[in-house]
Structure 1
């Protein structure tokens, strides 16, 4: 659970700071609808994220965050180590386990054959090449699936992109642009389908009301609560993949 504080509010801009009392840099995120301060850990970037009301002084926010150092330390002790892209590592891909292999003489472009993802070239570039491959596969698979489900829904999607958001698997803007977390490619295919169905359903309903939920379930064609629970359980591991130890 994130640490939360309710209190009063001066204006601030989003910024990242190093606070001696805290083990990770802290990113201040003013939000117009926030009524309380909320602190959480971004494992992938090794940062603390502090969302706070827009009209709040930096000093008030940081003083409160300093008071959460015991909570932060407790959360850090619970974190499992990252799973970096190194030769010999096994990572999930489309719900199955694949082996990462490096050999200098192989192509520098990773090639997936059976359950082995291999590439060559300088070893110090291995991790970057593997991540580029996975991001490319995610973009391809999610673009194709989004087009398929959008046709079924009778809606248009302006663009599909992938990123590495710390707290969202997908987002849909009012102009029809959809963005996904590339790490979805590590999950079983039915979970990709659920996330895509969820975001495409937002092309008709930009809320989570009954009409949205009905369309989401129809587009997914499965048990939405079960898929949501499964991705929530898998999420922490997926977000450790590719992160250094």
Structure 2
């Protein structure tokens, strides 16, 4: 069974032509799928579709064994699939790093003590304990990106959705990110323009082309290799 599957998804932003024109894909357990394509091809739109932040005009979204259609349907999906936005400022809004990371676990119903234990665990995992009490909006772009990943990992998702995760990272922090992602058990969908990064992380690659997803050989691919 696929963890997340999109079937013939079509979508257009108001006042614009269709950006998705029948996109289909499936993510298998443990798989790390890279999605490539030019700017504006619909890659970020695809990730938002997976967690219900955007709704298709036609087609089906399936996640964790069920078809998801309504806002209520997507509640469990957002707990199980953690989206790391391309711009960390869209994700981080609490005064300090620790509070930003604790926000998700607290919203999932954990006690303050449980949430702070998650904060400590994730900061240790990512070697970011030195940022714990820093003011979030004063961090560098690269630090914000790593804290965004920490905030998502604190909710223990089954799937990671990563939108250009290496943006604003220097070489040292990019290598740290690679080591972190290689060590994680979660299935992933990652968007990246960096072929070297994709080769280090992805187990499979699809390209967004003319509103559909195609394999590197140019053929449409609707299912995962792990499904």
In the superposition, the TM-score normalised over structure 1's length comes to 0.28
When Rg is computed on C-alpha atoms for both structures, the one with the higher figure is 1
Higher RCO (C-alpha under 8 Å, 6+ residues apart): 2
Taking structure 2 as the reference length, what is the TM-score of the superposition?
Answer: 0.30
